[in-house]
Amino acid sequence: MTTPEALEPVDESWATALAFVAHPDDLEYGTAAAVARWTAQGKRIVYGLATSGEAGIDGVDPEQCGPLREAEERAGAAIVGVETVEFYGFPDGTVEYGLPLRRAVADAVRRHRPDVVLTGNYRGFWAPGQPNQADHIAVGQAVLDGVRDAANRWIFRDLGDPWHARRILVSGSPEATHGVDVTDTFDLGVASLEAHGEYLRGLVDNPMSEPREFLESIARQVGTRVGAKFGVSFEVIEL
């Protein structure tokens, strides 16, 4: 049996971050434990959600589901020390890569001026035979491009002064090279996901509906690669 390759520690010499993902709950499936570690260090992190997750609960109409999931996201964010949560109004389930999405990313970066930007896996698969979801792919790719757009003063010139983020940290990537020890903040990450109560109740016969068990199964595997009990992995893209 091949031993998984060790992950390098994520460089934590930064003060501010923007986490830009597709849906409420995307950050809570692992990344939130790292966010809790970083906010405890005094770092400021802002959450940006492309959608309100309004198509995410089968038994709840989107008109009711969107506000419900926004409230759950704000509650989960607060648990890990995040005060600012923004929703950008793209349609859940049918997000398209393109200029409007890149513009939303660039706007968020120029307004919040983060040192680093967090996002989720933008690749087609999580692992062989495990395809990614379309919104994740579109939003992740737009983050890669929109962050660079934000640094170019001649792109989206009406959005204010350019801002150059130092790097992008991609969680859940099959190409992860770095990791973070989240042993001390793992419970906060679980609680952050548990705040999405209505969403979790809507998951039927899905292992993702059991927050602690599901998160432990991933965090323990990553932990072995960072020399800790629990870990979160990242692909690091230097800009």
| pLDDT, tens digit, 9 for 90 and up, residues 86-121 | 999 999 999 999 999 999 999 999 999 999 999 999
One-letter amino acid at 98 equals G
In a domain, 149, yes or no: yes
Q: Minimum mean pLDDT among 11-25, 33-47, 197-211: which range? A: 197-211
Q: What percent of the chain has pLDDT over 70?
A: 97
In a domain, 63, yes or no: yes
199 pLDDT above the threshold of 80: yes
Query: Average of pLDDT values for 57-81?
Result: 96
Closest CA to 46 of 15, 4, 8: 15
Q: What local confidence, expressed as pLDDT, does residue 1 receive? A: 52
In a domain, 42, yes or no: yes
Structural domain total, the chain: 1
Q: How many C-beta atoms surround the C-beta of residue 210 within 10 A?
A: 14
Query: Average of pLDDT values for 173-187?
Result: 97
Q: What local confidence, expressed as pLDDT, does residue 180 receive? A: 98
Range of the domain at 175: 15-238
CATH code for the domain in which residue 233 is found: 3.40.50.10320
In a domain, 192, yes or no: yes
In a domain, 2, yes or no: no
In a domain, 185, yes or no: yes
